[in-house]
Each structure stands twice: as C-alpha cells, then as structure tokens.
Amino acid sequence: MTTSTQPRGRPEAIRAVPVRHPGRWLAAAVIAVLVAMAVNTLVYNPRFNWPEQFQYLFAPPVLTAVVNTIWLTAAAMVGGTVFGVVLALMRMSPNPILRAASWFYLWVFRGTPLYTQLLIWGAIGALFPTVSLGIPFGPEFVTWQTQALISAAIAASVGLILNEAAYMAEIVRAGILSVDRGQHEASGALGMTRMQTMRRIVLPQAMRVIIPPTGNETIAMLKNTSLVAAIPFYELTFAAQNIYARTYQVIPMLIMAVLWYLALSSILMIGQYYLERHYGRSERTPTVARDQAGE
C-alpha cells in the first residue's frame, strides 16, 4: 500500500455572486420619479403663491397664533398628564367606586370625538347660563355668568385637558404595569407606603415605557389644537382662515400653517428622541458592560 507524497493543489477560491434585487431598484426608481414630480409641482405651480406665503409667515397675527398654539399644547399636555396619572391610579385602586368612576370617565372621553367635545365646551353657556358657589342642594353664595367666567382660552384648555387625560391614563397605567410586581413587594417590605412606592420606585421605572407614547401624544396634541377653532380660539389654523377669508388665497395660507406645524413638530420630535435616550440608559448599560467584559 502506497501513499502519495505530492502536495495537494489549493482549492479554487469561492466566487461570490451578489444577490440581485431588481424590486428594490424598481421601487427606488418609482419613488425618485414621484419625488421629482412633487418638487416640480411645488416649484412651478403658480397657485402655491410662495411669495404670498412668506409675506405672512412671520406676520404679527400669525406669530401671535403660533404662541397661542404652543402654550395651548403645553397646557393641555401638562394638565392632561397630571389628571391622567390620577385616573390611572384610580383605575388600579382596590376601591371599586374609584375603579368604576375612572372606567366611566375613560369610556366617555375616549368614545366621543374631540371636535364634538370642544363644540360642547364652546357652547357651555347655553347648558349652564350661570355658575354658582354654595352648599350642594342648598343656598348659593356667589353666582357668575358662565360666558363671562369661561373665556374661549379657558374652554379650549379645559376641553383639550379633559380629553387628553383619558388617553394619558391608559399610557401611565401601561407603564405602571410594566414594572415588575416584586418592586412593589420589596418597597412594602422596607416600610414604604403605597404612594411612596409609586412616587419613588414605580413611576421612575415606568418612565421608560411612558415617554415614547407621551411624545407621540404631544405631537398629536399640537395638531389637535387646530380643532379649537370650533370654540372659536385664535390659534394657527384659525389665523390662516382669517387671512384667506380676506385675501382669498386659501391654499397658500393653509400651506403657511403647514410649514409652522412641521417646524414645531420637528422640535418636539428632537426633544422626544433625547428623552427616550435619557430614560433608556438602563437598557443600554448592561449591553455595554458585556461588550467590555468580552474584550
């Protein structure tokens, strides 16, 4: 029996054949054509009337409306978040009356259109002509006219806050439920009350789940402020309507409002990104530690 001592030849290199993706190139070509058509329309369609838009973009009435839109968004989100936390805690309470009251509130405000709710708040004086302070079912000490007491700004704020609270309650409740039950038990073993546990242990950990949908709710609220024109209240869309009612430049003024909404939404998106990074550090840290240990 003999064995060959001649060296074996080196195997041929594997020739890699790139995978073809004709569908991707076709989709990219279609999108490129659509983008080119959109840009051509924006630039060369005279009905957009860009000079008219830029003339009013920073006009004092428009800037006033932008400020009103910003503070109305902030007030609605702050008030809605605070009230939403209360509703979430009521929904998770062992007291059946509190649970039922919270459920009924969420059922009403999530089950009816925001625009309809704002219309009701705009006409609240027709339902309650006066507002009184006194003993329930007893004498009244002070009485005010509802129209004088509840201005358009107050009606808009209250309407948005009450609606937003119903959605924030479910967001907060989901965040609380995401925290392990053992955290509650451990804090109870340390002698913390239920409220101390919620404030110091549970809610800080729940922020990781609460922040992303809250950011989306804030951006949605910015756009929902356009509905308060039903009250009416002077915000961005209402200002655009007032201007095109005089100039008859409907599309240019609406595009002007769109530019402002896009600018404000972009700022909110940037803030949401950094907040998510801040509260997501606890998830990234173990991964970094494992990578360093592997090195």
Residue 29 has pLDDT above 80, yes or no: yes
What pLDDT is stored for residue 83 in this prediction? 94
Q: How far is CA 214 from the centre of its chain?
A: 5
Distance from C-alpha of 218 to C-alpha of 72, rounded to nearest angstrom: 11
Q: Is residue 46 a part of any domain in this protein?
A: no
What pLDDT is stored for residue 103 in this prediction? 94
Distance from C-alpha of 158 to C-alpha of 148, rounded to nearest angstrom: 16
Instruction: Residue 82: give its domain's CATH number.
Output: 1.10.3720.10
Q: Which helix (H) or strand (E) holds 229?
A: none
Termini Cα distance of the chain: 51
Share of residues in the chain with pLDDT > 70 (%): 90
Residue 163 in tokens:
């609606």
Q: Is residue 147 a part of any domain in this protein?
A: yes
What pLDDT is stored for residue 139 in this prediction? 77
Taking phi over 0 as left and psi of -120 to 50 as alpha, with beta for the rest, 49 belongs to: left
Select the more confidently predicted residue: 1 or 90.
90
Range of the domain at 181: 70-132+141-234
Where is average pLDDT lowest: 89-98, 169-178, 219-228, 270-279?
270-279
Share of residues in the chain with pLDDT > 90 (%): 38
Distance from C-alpha of 151 to C-alpha of 128, rounded to nearest angstrom: 14
What pLDDT is stored for residue 127 in this prediction? 79
Residue 6 pLDDT grade (very low, low, confident, very high; cuts 50, 70, 90): low
Please name the residues in contact with 258: beta carbons below 8 A apart, sequence gap of 6 or more. Answer: none
Distance from C-alpha of 102 to C-alpha of 89, rounded to nearest angstrom: 9
Residue 220 has pLDDT above 80, yes or no: yes
Residue 143 main-chain phi, psi, to 5 deg: -135, 135
Q: Is residue 274 a part of any domain in this protein?
A: no
- How many domains, in total, are found in the chain? 1
What pLDDT is stored for residue 285 in this prediction? 52
Residue 182 in tokens:
């053992």
Q: Is residue 211 a part of any domain in this protein?
A: yes
Q: Are 206 and 172 in contact (CB under 8 A)?
A: yes
Q: Is residue 84 a part of any domain in this protein?
A: yes
Distance from C-alpha of 267 to C-alpha of 272, rounded to nearest angstrom: 9
What pLDDT is stored for residue 275 in this prediction? 82
Over the stretch 72-115, which tens digit does the pLDDT of each residue have?
A: 999 999 999 999 999 998 998 889 999 999 999 999 999 999 99
From residue 225, give the alpha-carbon distance in Å to each of 124, 140, 156, 157: 19, 36, 8, 9
Q: Is residue 207 a part of any domain in this protein?
A: yes
Rounded mean pLDDT of the chain? Answer: 84
Q: Is residue 94 a part of any domain in this protein?
A: yes
Over the stretch 242-278, which tens digit does the pLDDT of each residue have?
A: 988 888 888 889 999 999 999 999 999 998 888 888 7
Q: Is residue 219 a part of any domain in this protein?
A: yes
